Structure 1
Amino acid sequence: MRMKRILVNWELYLLMLLPVAYFIIFRYLPMYGVQIAFKDFSAAKGIWDSPWVGFDHFVRFFNSYNFEQVLTNTVYLSVLLLVIAFPIPIIIALMLNQVKHQRFKKFMQTSIYAPYFISTVVLVGMVFVFLSPNSGLVNHIIKGFGGEPVMFMADSEWFRPIYVFTEVWQTTGFSSIIYLAALAAIDPHLHEAAVVDGASKWKRVLHIDLPGLMPTIAVLFILAVGNLMNIGFEKAFLMQTDINVDASEIIPTYVYKIGIQRAQYSFSAAIGLFNAVINLVLLFIVNRTVKKMSGNGLF
């Protein structure tokens, strides 16, 4: 019976083949190498013959002088992104859904989607140009109002606001697509009935659109929290300078410096595994909590 269903829907299984192969090859098979986090890895001996050291690398990381700074920076920046960047696509989707003029709606959608396709390297280059103390547009505006130029990229206090702002600007439009699709699936008869009953747009958003979005919001919130500690390495590393490193040094950049630049592979693998375990624990906790509260969950 099962084989018959597979043969009937063979096109769907064929489409699913590439994603499954991708996850097996690039996600599951590399997990074999995680064991070097518990070994004193030597490239000459290989993974299998390198001696076991247990949790020595984890203890070394927990006792290192910059453990607190790196962990605090990662958590602080992650929570900021979750609190600020997560709800904005929902608001944008609700606003776009209320726009009736189709040409204006398409123009706005294109405008907010476009930044997503700018590469991180180009984006950070734009940030440095716009915020330059000598020739940057932002500082020209500040000086035009009688202020003094601000060294944005040389001040650690500005790193987090700039990072969050650029993340919101770049990803909000693309992230709102999922919510717009969920809004499109809401039965239009509900809105028609609400209009007949005299409900305003705000009431319809509050009592029809938002409840219709809640299952999607719940699932994406669980995924966001489960990926909380995985901040984008590229942007943080490219925005990092010797002066703002006390705020910009996060776990991904620290792992890169330890593992690639200093060739301490086992130590960096231990830090990466520690980061992954935190994400896994958060995923299970948030999934269980959201499922109890709303009935929606990943599993």
Structure 2
Amino acid sequence: MSEPASLRTHRVIVPTAIDMAALVGPADEVLRVIEAGFPAADIHVRGNEITISGPHSQSVMVTRLLDELIELLQLGVELNADVVRRSIEMLADATPSRPADVMSVDIVSNRGRSVRPKTVGQRAYVDSIDANTITFGIGPAGTGKTYLAVAKAVQAWQAKQVSRIVLTRPAVEAGERLGYLPGSLSEKIDPYLRPLYDAMRDMLEPDLLPRLIESGTVDVVPLAYMRGRTLNDAFIILDEAQNTSMEQLKMFLTRLGFGSKMVITGDITQVDLPGGVTSGLRVIEDILVGVDDVAFCHLGSADVVRHRLVADIIDAYGRWDVVRGPHSERTQRTRR
């Protein structure tokens, strides 16, 4: 008896080189996520053959998904529930992307861990950094904008495309006037620059970063100390750029020297500047419109790679913004 026209059965033969345990996940974790995403599809695993039965649209989608997951495994990507959920979202998008194209790009690897883009937006951001001298990464917390920028800086240094890495942040809470705080300069600025140190430590051997800092190969400084410098042959990252004034951002951008690349990251919904000071990041896209070799990448809740609730929280704030209307600077400064 033939199956109804609306139902289809597909079979996926998994290459013998693929570990079936890795494909279905520990305790069938991967398989359970697929079944939850396509509840009308009936999925059976027997040996290295997977049979998918159900409505045509779902059985076709599951087949495509399994082909992508197999290719990800072949490219060295470890499968887990998060990878599968993101793969389903990419394939179901109005303009679908191949998960294997997005998540298989190794930027840097260290101690058995690889830094890779995990979303379509992150892949576009990484590609933009490669293609442009100046790239702005604008988006909410957790979208990987700083982490990926640091990874690209380490990659460029390892490939000898640049001779040094410069990391900077505005020390807004101290008003960029650090002299009155107790301790040495390093102790004063450390809290502001700690996220940049932490990201770089993930990508380098534990004893290498202190030596690179001591030699000047890695230069981690507050934005106030960038004035008057010209940075040649360097990969330069400005983090938390929403906390720069228009004048400060102009000062930073004009530090660009020959053979250098810049990445500027920030979240325009989390401005900590005092009242009356306009965030340079909020207006820079209007200022630089039409300028060649400058790119703006906007990341959103779909690019959040932290706990799944973070994306929901960001979306909830976005809906609240629409209902409430423009915020005061004070309200924006409380969002941390």
The bucket for the TM-score relative to the shorter chain is: under 0.3
Q: Which TM-score applies when normalising by structure 1?
A: 0.25
- The TM-score, its normalising length taken from structure 2, stands at 0.22
Q: Which has the higher contact order (CA 8 A, sep 6+)?
A: 1
Q: Which has the higher strand share?
A: 2
